[in-house]
Amino acid sequence: MGWFFTLFYNDRLDELGASLISSIRLFLYLIIFFTTVHLYGDVEKPVVGKTKISKVEYYKYWNPYRRVLDLRGKPQSFYGQIYYQATYNKEGRIKTVTRFGKDRKPKETYYFIWSRSGARSEYKVKFHEGGNVSRLDKDLYANELSYVRPGWVAHFISRSDGRPREVSFSDSIGFKYFSYHFNYTVVKEDNIFSEVVESSYFDSNDAFVGRHLLFWEKGAYLRMIQYFDPENKTIQTKEYLHDKKLQETVRVIIDQEGKEVERKIIPLMPPDKYAYKYEWTGKEVIDRGLQDIDNLDLAIEFAARAEDALNKANADLVAAKQALDEANERARTATKLMRKAEGQAKDVESFQARMDDAREEAQKAIENMYNAEREAERARLEVAAATATLDAVQKTKDVEDYAQDQAKEAKRQAKLERKEARKKARELKRALQDSLLGSGPKSFLTLASGQPVIVERTLKDHTAGVNYTFGLGRRNMFTFNGKEIDIGLEVNWYDFASDSIGKNFQTLSYFLIGQINPRLGWRWIPSTLETGLKIGGGLVSPGYGFTLGSSAIFHLLPTPITIGMFTQFNWVSGAIEKETRTYWTTIGLVFGVNLQDKLPGIFDIDLPNIFDIF
């Protein structure tokens, strides 16, 4: 009987051990496989921003609404044709597109700014040559407001499908000349649907000038254009009858009275390759061109779900590992039970009971191992899906960050352009002042009276009277460091009366004066206002002194008379006593007249050209 138990025990143990070993071996293979995928699965991932992108490319076709370029080639292959030069950012999206004419000269340039997701973009167009704005789109714009000059910019606001909703045209300093607004409506008549595009145009004061309607059958074939005046009366209608068999189009023009004034056969007007495609389902119109546009909100929601899936997959992986540990523990427990059963088997019933317990524990261990394998496989798939989703969302975030950087750069560039525009405005203001006031030499006479307001304490016991100044001289006599310098002679009467004997300070001064007239181009300064800064020195009987002053003079054009205000600082020495030095500041009014070279030529001195070296 003992050999029977031994044989039965060995057979069961071999069967159970072989099953456990196979299961454990399979699970170890799975663990090794998952670890390999986790460690090395990302080796072949492309690195965002490292893709080599062509910086400049040339194309024969350009659709700004779809942001599509086609028919790529070399610039020399487009000789004598219109072609486009495109540049790209590091994400491979269009940055600029420049149209070149048949003369190989640039006509206009499109500048794009993209959203973070890359689904939306806005753009502006800078014109390099003057002409008609209909070169951007021959149907959307009207002749009433169409002419543009070099340097003008068209600012576009787009719809979600890329087509313009508003566009304004302004010059390089930001003054708006006219603008357009566009509305898009789909209508259905007799099971034939059409898209109606309304183009309304406004002048620089946003006053309504007119509008026209474009009727597009199936969003591709232009059927009719109706033009209206500001009173909404029809002034002209153009109909287009297309014949695909004859490959021709008949254009019919009808005047405001409803009479046909022209019928002409023109080449067939086929739809654009990238025109917006519509489909009528019987209940609604579907725009197939919008189905490829990404939704950033959907991507963010999908990213959140992917993150939840990744967290759940990690939790399932931890649970699978715990199940594996439990299975191993059960296997070890089964082995201990069998060994204990062998040592304590005294009769068949106790041995059989222990064998049943061991068999039950082994079966539970096997089932737990299979469950752990299934959970591990499911966790691996969910981890892979979540990782792929997070990579896509990370790329979207990188695009958004780049768009923010581009926006900052555009803002900085706008500040520079605004600063340059202000500089040009000041230059124009100075040129206007030169044209009004004259930039050539001319003679002048002035008479000024002023009251001392700040007096040094040496003169505190004196009675300050009105000071008078008579001056004559020559404007723009020579140039120093690019500035025009006026030269003149001033005779001043100083009146500081005193009751003390020998302290009376009432005398004349004779100063040689040099004055510079800066042209301030600030907007709030009138064009006929001339500012001046002067410095001079000379004799103050019986001593000497010097003066500093500034003035603001209005030219009462077209007369030669001038009027203004001045402030002047005077410093004198030896006028009262030999060692006496004093100073004061005067504010007053000045009157003058420009003689337009009617004075004798006493100031017509040929100065040497040494001043021009500065």
pLDDT digits (tens, 9 = 90+) for 371-407: 777 777 777 787 777 777 777 777 777 777 787 888 8
49 inside domain:
no
Output phi, psi for 574, to 5 deg.
75, 15
Output phi, psi for 543, to 5 deg.
-110, -140
133 inside domain:
yes
66 inside domain:
no
Identify the domain containing residue 351 by its residue range. Answer: 2-43+296-422
3-class secondary structure for 434-486? HHHHCCCCEEEEEEEEEEEEEECHHHCCCEECCEEEEEEEEEEEEEECCEEEE
CA 197 remoteness from chain centre: 28
Residue 75 is classified by DSSP as G
68 inside domain:
no
Element (H, E) at 326: helix 296-344
Identify the domain boundary among 290, 314, 337.
290
Round to whole Å and give the CA distance between 81 and 73. 12
Identify the domain boundary among 270, 290, 310.
290
Q: What is the pLDDT of residue 277?
A: 65
Q: Tokens 């090794």 sit at which residue?
A: 32
Cα–Cα–Cα angle for 340, 344, 347, nearest 5°? Answer: 130
**Residues 319 and 455 occupy one common structural domain:** no
Output phi, psi for 331, to 5 deg.
-65, -40
**Residues 130 and 261 occupy one common structural domain:** yes
**Residues 126 and 271 occupy one common structural domain:** yes
Round to whole Å and give the CA distance between 488 and 484. 13
Round to whole Å and give the CA distance between 39 and 31. 12
On the question of a cis peptide bond just before residue 542, with omega within 30 degrees of 0, the verdict is yes
Task: Please report how many Cα atoms fall inside a 13 Å half-sphere around the Cα of residue 300, on the Cβ side.
Answer: 7
User: Would you call 153 helix, strand, or coil by DSSP?
Assistant: strand
Task: Please report how many Cα atoms fall inside a 13 Å half-sphere around the Cα of residue 124, on the Cβ side.
Answer: 14
Find out whether 545 and 509 touch, Cβ atoms under 8 Å.
yes
Q: What is the CATH number of the domain that holds 368?
A: 1.10.287
User: Would you call 138 helix, strand, or coil by DSSP?
Assistant: coil
**Residues 164 and 32 occupy one common structural domain:** no
**Residues 442 and 569 occupy one common structural domain:** yes
Residue 608 is classified by DSSP as -
**Residues 460 and 573 occupy one common structural domain:** yes
**Residues 414 and 400 occupy one common structural domain:** yes
Tokens describing residue 79: 């000789």
Rounded to a whole number of angstroms, the distance between the first and last alpha carbons of the chain is 128
**Residues 467 and 584 occupy one common structural domain:** yes
**Residues 393 and 505 occupy one common structural domain:** no
22 inside domain:
yes
Helix-, strand-, coil-residue percentages of the chain, each rounded to 5: 30, 40, 30
Round to whole Å and give the CA distance between 47 and 21. 43
506 inside domain:
yes
Which residues of the chain, if any, have pLDDT below 50? Answer: 1-9, 13, 16, 35-53, 289-302, 598-603, 610-614
340 inside domain:
yes
**Residues 176 and 226 occupy one common structural domain:** yes
**What single-letter amino acid sits at 576?**
I
Q: What is the pLDDT of residue 458?
A: 84
**Residues 395 and 455 occupy one common structural domain:** no
Q: What is the CATH number of the domain that holds 507?
A: 2.40.160.20
Q: What is the pLDDT of residues 174-209, one digit of tens each?
A: 899 999 999 988 877 666 667 889 999 999 999 999
**Residues 124 and 167 occupy one common structural domain:** yes
Q: What is the pLDDT of residue 478?
A: 77
Element (H, E) at 51: none
β-strands 68-73, 94-100: how paired? Answer: unpaired
Pick from 564, 559, 583: nearest CA to 572: 583
Identify the domain boundary among 256, 290, 324.
290
DSSP output for 209-274: EEEEEEEEETTTEEEEEEEE-TT--EEEEEEEEEETTTTEEEEEEEETTS-EEEEEEEE--PPPTT
What Rg do the C-alpha atoms of the chain give, in angstroms? 46
User: Would you call 11 helix, strand, or coil by DSSP?
Assistant: helix
Number of domains composing the chain: 3
333 inside domain:
yes
Q: What is the pLDDT of residue 25?
A: 62
Residue 54 is classified by DSSP as -
β-strands 248-255, 467-480: how paired? Answer: unpaired
